[in-house]
């Protein structure tokens, strides 16, 4: 509640604080009218009783107003007016506080959303999207529930209870106060015990709900994989197991709610019966009127509604606190990479990128980079190659500062990337990843994502450079074509070209190309490669390569193995050394030649051993040459 206070009483919004103040005044007025309504009922009953006995309506020195009050019809009208006033004042209070409640929901939801984006890549690699979305969704709902119940239910009920005790003491005597107090004490005790029992059931329900939601989203995100392996039944069974647990917990939740409601009704009814019995005895004894008997009944019945609601409110508050705690745990998740308090914006002059004895590990026991040092001169292109697991992709993640280095440092124009703001650092770097994921929006939106202030002409020019403008214009909706979730409506090559266009539009001084043409056919690859060379000209470019043919013209090629630089030089120099790079080049050339043989002879590619077609620069170097196998297959 302490953490929620700034959201419920926003210091930057005096208009909302004024709304809360007015709402509190209306709240007090509502409760005053609420407790006054039974008086009108009492007076009308007494007036009718006197009239039915033939006793004349009493006249007092107060004149016509007092006489009017004694008239039963007027008192009934006053009773109806009081009930209307209760509703109108309550609705006005609710309308005033709606803006406060929804502002609190919006602010906290935004804070959580921003925090999730600030969390490190390490966190996002281990999170479960479905479970995370459920935590945020339930937390947002809990904020609304808790804010509404605190402003609209708890405070009004407390005020009403105080007024009821005061009226009972004034209108009756201490016995009634004691009876109502004992009733409420037992009622609250039972509600607390039963609600605590139900909370354990509700936690299990939430866990099963989160698990089922996570499995459903995970399965849908991997729709194609499910289809590839024909595992629809297995996925359905997996989801149904989670839903079975949810079903059991849900049944227990509703059953326990029935027991709670029944117990509350029994306790309150006993208290009501005791009070009415005492009132009946006092009427017979002449200490009270029939109106008093009706009054105590109306007062207790009227009190039962907020009390019954208070039992629900207690359960909802406890559940809301549980859900909000989960959200606050998310907010408490440590941000691994943060800007220093005195961080300045990155000032890019030439764009020289330097790695100085960089060491890094995702886990302490597994070292990924072991003292990497190299430099990418301004305007030059440096390629990183090596077997799978050598640490190539880690280098790009460290440059983007998705992680901080364990030791050593990375600089751009002499500025340590840890000393500058992350936004300015990432603004200066363009990235074309190997695995492109697009937003579920239009092609126009996804290309424009590179630079929001770009004009239509600039977006089209970037698409043209990426060799995708013609394809887009051939679509019925052109640039307004929806790409589907994660861009699944486009082919791999089309998605890749959209990503290239997005980066071209950004026009950063530093480029990272993580095998930017991996999803393209040979013909399109050559066109895109020339476009990328044109775009990278004059820019500092770091290429993470798997196809060695794409980095022949690099100013320097760095060969990684087991997290260390084992070779470096130009393409020709590395071939002359006949080392790891030369072996990788030979294996890749063998695979390319096998494909060419197949293309010339028209043979089915399925006849060729898969080790030929899948051969890449990352394959192990101890495998035997396969060109002979390919030639034998073709012949």
Cβ atoms of 501 and 466 closer than 8 Å: yes
488 φ/ψ angles, rounded to the nearest 5 degrees: -70, -15
| More confident site: 160 or 377 | 377
* pLDDT at residue number 519: 55
Helix (H) or strand (E) holding 369: strand 369-376
* pLDDT at residue number 531: 65
| Domains present along the chain, CATH in parentheses | 5-331 (1.20.1560.10), 440-507 (no CATH), 586-634 (no CATH)
Residue 167, pLDDT > 60, answer yes
* pLDDT at residue number 129: 59
Question: pLDDT digit string (tens) for 39-51?
Answer: 777 777 777 666 5
* pLDDT at residue number 595: 65
Residue 184, pLDDT > 70, answer yes
**pLDDT classification of 524: cutoffs 50, 70, 90:** low
* pLDDT at residue number 230: 79
Instruction: Provide the phi-psi class of 386: left if phi over 0, else alpha when psi is between -120 and 50, else beta.
Output: left
- Across 318-332, 502-516, 531-545, the highest mean pLDDT is recorded for 502-516
* pLDDT at residue number 73: 65
* pLDDT at residue number 634: 36
CA–CA distance, 167 with 148 (Å, rounded to integer):
28
| More confident site: 312 or 162 | 162
CA 306, distance to chain mean position in Å, is 34
CA–CA distance, 284 with 436 (Å, rounded to integer):
86
Segment 296-313 mean pLDDT: 75
Cβ atoms of 385 and 560 closer than 8 Å: yes
Segment 194-205 mean pLDDT: 78
C-beta atoms surrounding 214 within 10 Å: 19
Segment 564-582 mean pLDDT: 87
Q: Where are the alpha helices (DSSP H) in 441-579?
A: 443-448, 456-465, 469-474, 492-506, 522-536, 571-577
Segment 420-425 mean pLDDT: 88
**pLDDT classification of 628: cutoffs 50, 70, 90:** very low
Question: pLDDT digit string (tens) for 254-277?
Answer: 888 788 888 888 888 888 888 888
Residue 179, pLDDT > 80, answer yes
CA–CA distance, 529 with 551 (Å, rounded to integer):
10
Cβ atoms of 285 and 204 closer than 8 Å: no
* pLDDT at residue number 280: 85
**How much of the chain exceeds pLDDT 70, in percent?**
79
Residue 469, pLDDT > 60, answer yes
| More confident site: 417 or 23 | 417
CA–CA distance, 504 with 420 (Å, rounded to integer):
24
Question: pLDDT digit string (tens) for 580-609?
Answer: 888 888 887 776 677 667 666 654 444 444
Segment 461-478 mean pLDDT: 87
**How much of the chain exceeds pLDDT 90, in percent?**
1
**pLDDT classification of 319: cutoffs 50, 70, 90:** confident
599: exposed, middle or buried (Cβ count in 10 Å: 0-12, 13-18, 19+): exposed
Sequence-ordered list of residues with C-beta below 8 angstroms from that of 306, at least 6 positions apart, any chain: 153, 156, 157, 160
| More confident site: 337 or 585 | 585
Q: Where are the alpha helices (DSSP H) in 388-430?
A: 392-399, 422-427
* pLDDT at residue number 522: 66
* pLDDT at residue number 439: 84
* pLDDT at residue number 40: 72
CA–CA distance, 405 with 342 (Å, rounded to integer):
19
Listed range (8-12, 175-179, 343-347) with the worst mean pLDDT = 8-12
* pLDDT at residue number 504: 85
Which two tokens mark 507? 């026009």
| More confident site: 183 or 630 | 183
* pLDDT at residue number 453: 86
Residue 130, pLDDT > 60, answer no
Mean pLDDT of the chain: 76
CA–CA distance, 547 with 567 (Å, rounded to integer):
17
* pLDDT at residue number 528: 67
* pLDDT at residue number 58: 45
Cβ atoms of 449 and 483 closer than 8 Å: no
Segment 82-107 mean pLDDT: 75
- Across 161-170, 331-340, 443-452, 584-593, the highest mean pLDDT is recorded for 443-452
Listed range (136-140, 229-233, 258-262) with the worst mean pLDDT = 136-140
Q: Where are the alpha helices (DSSP H) in 466-491?
A: 469-474
């Amino acid at each position: 509640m302490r953490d929620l206070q700034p959201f419920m009483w926003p210091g930057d919004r005096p208009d909302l604080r004024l709304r809360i103040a007015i709402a509190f005044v209306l709240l007090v007025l509502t409760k005053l009218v609420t407790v006054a309504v039974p008086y009108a009922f009492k007076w009308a009953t007494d007036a009718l009783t006197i009239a039915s006995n033939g006793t004349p309506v009493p006249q007092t020195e107060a004149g016509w107003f007092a006489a009017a009050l004694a008239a039963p019809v007027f008192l009934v009208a006053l009773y109806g007016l009081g009930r209307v006033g209760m509703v109108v004042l309550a609705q006005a209070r609710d309308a005033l506080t709606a803006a406060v409640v929804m502002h609190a929901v919006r602010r906290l939801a935004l804070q959580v959303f921003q925090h999730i984006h600030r969390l490190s890549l390490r966190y996002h690699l281990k999170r479960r999207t479905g479970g995370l979305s459920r935590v945020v969704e339930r937390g947002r709902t809990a904020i609304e529930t808790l804010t509404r119940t605190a402003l609209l239910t708890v405070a009004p009920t407390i005020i009403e209870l105080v007024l009821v005790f005061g009226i009972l003491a004034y209108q009756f005597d201490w016995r009634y106060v004691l009876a109502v107090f004992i009733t409420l004490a037992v009622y609250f005790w039972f509600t607390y015990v039963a609600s605590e029992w139900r909370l354990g059931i509700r936690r299990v329900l939430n866990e099963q709900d989160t698990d089922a939601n996570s499995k459903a989203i995970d399965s849908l995100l991997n729709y194609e994989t499910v289809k590839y392996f024909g595992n629809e039944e297995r996925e359905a069974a997996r989801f149904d197991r989670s839903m079975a647990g949810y079903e059991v917990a849900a049944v227990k939740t509703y059953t326990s709610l029935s027991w709670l409601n029944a117990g509350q009704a029994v306790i309150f009814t006993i208290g009501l019966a005791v009070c009415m019995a005492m009132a009946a005895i006092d009427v017979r004894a002449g200490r009270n009127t029939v109106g008093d008997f009706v009054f105590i009944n109306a007062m207790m019945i009227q009190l039962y509604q907020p009390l019954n609601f208070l039992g629900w409110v207690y359960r909802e508050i406890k559940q809301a606190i549980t859900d909000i705690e989960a959200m606050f745990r998310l907010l408490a998740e440590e941000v691994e990479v943060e800007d220093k308090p005195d961080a300045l914006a990155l000032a890019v002059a030439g764009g020289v990128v330097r790695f100085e004895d960089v060491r890094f590990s995702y886990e302490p026991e597994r070292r990924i980079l072991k003292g990497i040092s190299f430099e990418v001169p301004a305007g030059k292109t440096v390629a990183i190659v090596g077997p799978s697991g050598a640490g190539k992709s880690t280098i790009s993640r460290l440059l983007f500062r998705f992680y901080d280095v364990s030791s050593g440092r990375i600089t751009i124009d002499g500025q340590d990337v840890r000393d500058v703001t992350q936004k300015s650092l990432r603004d200066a770097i363009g990235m074309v990843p190997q695995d492109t994921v697009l937003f579920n929006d239009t092609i126009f939106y996804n290309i424009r994502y590179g630079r929001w202030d770009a004009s239509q002409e600039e977006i089209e020019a970037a698409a043209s450079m990426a060799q995708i403008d013609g394809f887009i214009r051939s679509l019925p909706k052109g640039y307004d074509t929806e790409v589907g979730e994660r861009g699944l409506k486009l082919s791999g090559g089309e998605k890749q070209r959209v990503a290239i266009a997005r980066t071209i539009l950004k026009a950063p001084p530093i480029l990272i190309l993580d095998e930017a043409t991996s999803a393209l056919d040979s013909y399109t690859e050559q066109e895109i490669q020339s476009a990328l060379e044109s775009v990278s000209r004059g820019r500092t470019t770091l290429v993470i390569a798997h196809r060695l043919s794409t980095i022949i013209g690099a100013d320097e090629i760095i060969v990684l193995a087991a997290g260390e630089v084992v070779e470096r030089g130009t393409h020709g120099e590395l071939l002359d050394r006949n080392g790891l790079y030369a072996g990788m080049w030979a294996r890749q050339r063998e695979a390319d030649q096998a494909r060419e043989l197949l293309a010339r002879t028209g043979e089915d590619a399925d006849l060729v051993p898969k080790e030929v077609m899948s051969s890449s620069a990352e394959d192990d170097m101890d495998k035997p040459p396969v060109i002979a196998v390919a030639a034998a297959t073709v012949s």
